[in-house]
Structure 1
Amino acid sequence: MKYLHLIFTIVIFTGAIAQNEEPLLKVEGFSHPESVVFDEQNNVLYVSNMADDKDGDGFISKITPEGEILDLKWITGLNDPKGLLVHEDKLYVTDVTELVEMDLQKGEINRKIPVDGAMSLNDITVDAGGSIFFSDLEQSSIYFIPGEMAANSMRVDTPKGEIAEFLKSSKLNSPNGLLAHKDDLYAASWGENQDGNLLKIDMDTKEIFMVTEEGIGNLDGIQPSGKDFFYVSDWATGKIYSIDPNGNKTLVLTAEKSSGDILFLKEKNQLILPMNFQNSVWWYQLD
């Protein structure tokens, strides 16, 4: 299923407004791009391409932070790859019902790990303790692999390296974007009828709190913009918002429908949007 997404940005102290509504750069040639992630060690970006509806036609692209395509089909053999994570010299991607681990140096797939019960895996994140979390939009659930420094309560029934269900609840309202931040897990929910919100989950108690409460849209990507401020994207409207710790939102820019799992490059103060329907990736310069 092809999802498009919008972004939310913060103006007070930690946020900024796009200098104009026009992208700084548009790079064409992708195939339904869904997610963009930055590999700081190698100074490159990776883009997940869901491609068409054929099994095995999905792929990962490698590009420079300035938008030069280094290898369009760097890693192939995926189905509908979505969320991306760089962790410990590996690249992870969620692929429908599998978590795929890839070798960053060799540019090849190490293994595909089936996720029992999964239906539509989406975004992925890692916390300070090395635990990896990833969402399942259709199941309204979150899975995880406990890391070396995971809390005992998280590891008790899950052996090292194995996948388990972390939380399943209708209150997650179809979680899409995920972000581990401090001691909490944040989820951008897709919702129903464009009533998705930004949620905060206590990792110890698994209690779910609503950061926003009015129903923003079909939320997709989430990125930290400083302190406890976040950028989030709304797939349905193409709007990019900034959310403050009290749940107040500020419109940063309006792209087009189908902007996906966004990336914020703090050093350059740029938002990078994978544009699913447009088969392109857009760069926006913030003030």
Structure 2
Amino acid sequence: MNTTLKIGLMGLSATLLFSQCAPQKTEEVVEEILVEAKTPTLTLLWETEASLPTNESVLFDEATGTIYVSNIGGMDPQAKDGKGSIAIIDRDGKIVNPVWVGGLNSPKGMAISEGKLYVTDIDELVEIDISTAKVSNKWKVEGAIFLNDVASHEGTVYFTDMNTGKVHAYADGSISMVSEGHASINGIAVAKDGTIYGLDGSGLKMWNADGTASVVNANVTGGDGLIILGDGNFVASRWQGEIWFASADGETKMLDTKSAESNTADIGYNAAEKILYVPTFFKNKVAAYKLDY
């Protein structure tokens, strides 16, 4: 997605002729310079040790600087085997606590709301009290098959079910369905004004006030993690090993790790420092990249 800006620069040259009858003459020369806009890029900063088993999601807590990582644990993302966990790493890539919370099954997306960490776990929404690092509640979601990404906004927790194409919401102790009919929906994010964005088979989409959804970008399809940058710009990952900079005007592929067989699952983001955290799934490590755009 390249943008060309035209900047007109005025150059003025004057030739003065001194004689009794000759007037002053001027010539104006307009010079046009084409300036190529910056292409969004990702630069690798660090990688953790490869000891975060099948890590699926990374969440950066802006309030504390804590980085949470959800680990499926085994090879099957739908296994109810108790191998799943949440780890904590620091901003230099050191694994601070490999099992901050254990005993989960196949944890995936995460979000924080009112002192609780919410994580999807196959067909349950799990609530973890951050202050005690204990599971404080679990909600079985009726009809759920493959709960995936999570986002929160003003006390409401939104989460997706990739296999049923539904978006659910948790608030005030109960779960409701927000929307359905979104094939292969995964990534979800909520803007500061409450607008919901998601990634499904049709691309990057936005929910309207009347509950309908509009496609913002139809090329970034089948996405996994979604970050709202603002000003109409987004970062989206595809699990297979791609990360895209996207907007309604187009998209730029910033990272492709498919040849290295390294996945790019549910990404996290440190907005203040413009650092993207990438869970590599079967590579068992998290990679941090500097985003420049």
Whether the TM-score (by the shorter chain) exceeds 0.5 is yes
Q: 1:267 to 1:277 in 2, by over 3 A?
A: same
CA distance in 2 between partners of 1:79 and 1:11 (Å): 43
Distance 2:96 2:2 in 1: 34
Structure 1 segments, 4+ long, off by >3 Å, are 10-16
Q: Is the Cα–Cα contact under 8 Å of residues 163 and 183 in structure 2 kept in the other structure?
A: no
Task: Identify the residue that residue 149 of structure 1 maps to in structure 2.
Answer: none
SS at match of 1:175: coil
Q: 1:110 aligns with which of 116, 131, 136?
A: 136
What is the number of residues matched between the two proteins? 250
Answer yes or no: is the 8 Å Cα contact 2:156–2:169 preserved in 1.
Answer: yes
- TM-score normalised to the size of structure 1? 0.82
User: What's the % identity of the aligned pairs?
Assistant: 31
Instruction: Give yes or no for the alignment of 1:186 onto 2:221.
Output: no
Shift in Å, 1:225: 1.8
Structure 1 residue 226: Cα displacement = 2.6
- Structure 1 distance, partners of 2:125, 2:39, is 33
Q: Which is worse superposed, 34-43 or 134-143? A: 34-43
Residue 213 of structure 1: which of 203, 212, 218 is its match? 218
CA distance, structure 2, for counterparts of residue 161 and residue 18 of structure 1: 40
Alignment of 1:3-82 (within 5 A): 16-19=40-43, 23-27=44-48, 28-52=50-74, 53=76, 55-82=81-108
Instruction: Choose which of 95, 98, 121 in structure 1 pairs with 2:124.
Output: 98
CA distance in 1, matches of 2:67, 2:273: 14
Q: How far off its partner does 1:132 sit?
A: 1.4
SS of aligned partner of 1:35: strand
More strand by share: 2
- Output the TM-score relative to the length of structure 2: 0.80
Matched, 1:261 2:285: no
Distance in 2 of aligned mates of 1:286 and 1:188: 21
* Runs of at least 5 residues in structure 2 that lack an aligned partner in the other structure: 4-36
Give the match for residue 177 of structure 1: 187
Alpha-carbon offset, residue 247 of structure 1: 4.5
Q: Say whether residues 1:123 and 2:144 are aligned partners.
A: no
Structure 1 residue 183 displacement after superposition: 3.6
Q: In the alignment, what sits opposite 2:169?
A: 144
One-letter code aligned to 2:228? P
**1:286 matched to which residue of 2?**
291
Q: Hey, what's the Cα distance between the residues in 2 that align with 1:254 and 1:165? A: 35
Deviations for 1:230-261, whole angstroms, at most 9, x for unmatched residues? Answer: 1000122x2211112x2411122223442110
- For residues 15 and 60 of structure 1, the distance between their equivalents in structure 2, rounded to whole angstroms, comes to 35
Structure 1 counterpart of 2:180: 168
How big is each residue's C-alpha offset from its partner over 1:100-140, in whole Å with a ceiling of 9 and x where there is no partner? 0001111111111111111110011112x422110000000
- Structure 2 vs 1, CA of residues 97 and 11 (structure 1 numbering), >3 Å: closer, same or farther? farther
| Preserved CA contact (<8 Å) 2:278 2:288 | yes
Q: Structure 1 175/14 Cα, relative in aligned 2: closer, same or farther at 3 Å?
A: farther
Q: 1:11 to 1:87 in 2, by over 3 A?
A: farther
Alpha-carbon spacing, 1:14–1:207, altered in 2? closer, same or farther (3 Å): farther
Q: Is the 8 A contact 1:11 1:17 kept in 2?
A: no
Per the alignment, residue 23 of structure 2 pairs with: none
Superposition deviation, residue 285 in structure 1: 1.9
Summarize the Cα distance change of 1:11–1:177 in structure 2 as closer, same or farther, 3 Å threshold: farther
1:167-205, Cα deviation, whole Å (9 max, x unpaired): 111xx222100011124211111x3xxxx5111112x31
1:271 maps to which residue? 276
- Considering Cα pairs closer than 8 Å and 6+ residues apart, tell me whether 1 or 2 has the greater RCO: 1
Alignment correspondent of 2:236: 232
Instruction: Give the Cα separation in 1 of the matches to 2:38 and 2:110.
Output: 25
CA contact (8 A) 1:34 1:47 kept: yes
Distance 1:277 1:179 in 2: 24
In 1, distance between residues paired with 2:73 and 2:282? 11
Larger Rg: 2
Tell me: CA distance 1:11–1:84, structure 2 relative to 1, closer, same or farther (3 Å). Answer: farther
Provide the C-alpha distance between the structure 1 equivalents of 2:227 and 2:104, rounded to a whole number of angstroms. 25
1:15–1:266 distance in 2 versus 1, CA, 3 Å: farther
